[in-house]
Amino acid sequence: QAHRPSVMKALGAALDTLFDGLATYREVDTRGQILFETADGLIPLEDLADGLRSVFVIVAELLLRLDAAFADSQDPTREEAVCLVDELDAHLHPRLQRTVVPALRQLFPNVQFIVTTHSPYVVGSARHGEVVVLQRKGDSVVADTDVPDVEGWPADQIATSSIFGLDTTRDVRGEDALKAERDLLTKARLSPSESTRLAKAQKVLDRADGPTTAMVRQMLAAAEGPKRSVAKKKRKARAKV
């Protein structure tokens, strides 16, 4: 009880940092409701977006536990602890997924956070050596610590790295269009129907890519043609031998 005012003050400051302007802690009213100022006005905690409420639960629970464990501490946020969070990115807007780890690090500098995530934004905010990729192999789960240093990488590069293993971050239509373009540009001649398919595929891709990106994309796809032709000839030669 002695630390309750300081803890509530620390909680408010922590939430303001984590919420990044989406909501601002105001007060606890006479009915015990925790109130926040938002673009929609003053609202209680239960009316906040799911992502903001989940962040509140993490921070409030951690602060209260630190306060209880270190009753004599002048600042519980500076104490040492280990905090496990499953799916840290759940319900969070990408804007908050980018900032939640640095904010928690700043607010609780001596707490070790062990979190799980499927978000390239969260992974991108981790330091080199902090990311472990868990993969199921048969009946076992293998922890892979040999992952690239992703500092400064954009989210799509992280998503297509060995960490997440995606082939592309395009939607399924874009992925199909990219495959069609690559296959058709490697052909020496196109039939009328293939020319139509290529035009449709490039229309889809060009909507997303700028002129320079589109040109590089097409050059790379066309360059695959000779490589594939050589590979086919080698296979045929081996087959004849």
DSSP collapsed to 3 states, the chain: CCCHHHHHHHHHHHHHHHHCCCCEEEEECCCCCEEEEECCEEEEHHHCCHHHHHHHHHHHHHHHHHHHHCCCCCCHHHCCEEEEECCCCCCCCHHHHHHHHHHHHHHCCCEEEEECCCCHHHHHCCCCCCCCEEEEECCEEEEECCCCCCCCCCHHHHHCCCCCCCCCCCCHHHHHHHHHHHHHHCCCCCCHHHHHHHHHHHHHHHHHCCHHHHHHHHHHHHHHHHHHHHHHHHHHHHHHC
Give the range with max mean pLDDT: 89-98, 203-212, 213-222.
Answer: 89-98
Residue 241 has pLDDT above 50, yes or no: no
pLDDT at position 228 is: 46
pLDDT band at 231 (very low <50, low <70, confident <90, very high): very low
Q: Which residues lie across from 38 on neighbouring strands?
A: 41
Comparing 6-20, 112-126, 179-193, 211-225, the range with the smallest average pLDDT is 211-225
Q: Dihedral of the CA atoms 64, 66, 72, 76 (nearest 10)?
A: -100
Reply yes or no on whether the pLDDT at 236 is more than 60. no
Q: What pLDDT, on a 0 to 100 scale, did the predictor assign at position 3?
A: 46
| Contact in structure between 125 and 99 (CB atoms under 8 Å) | yes
Give the global pTM. 0.75
Spatial contact of 93 and 51, defined as CB atoms under 8 Å apart: yes
Q: In residues, how long is the chain?
A: 241
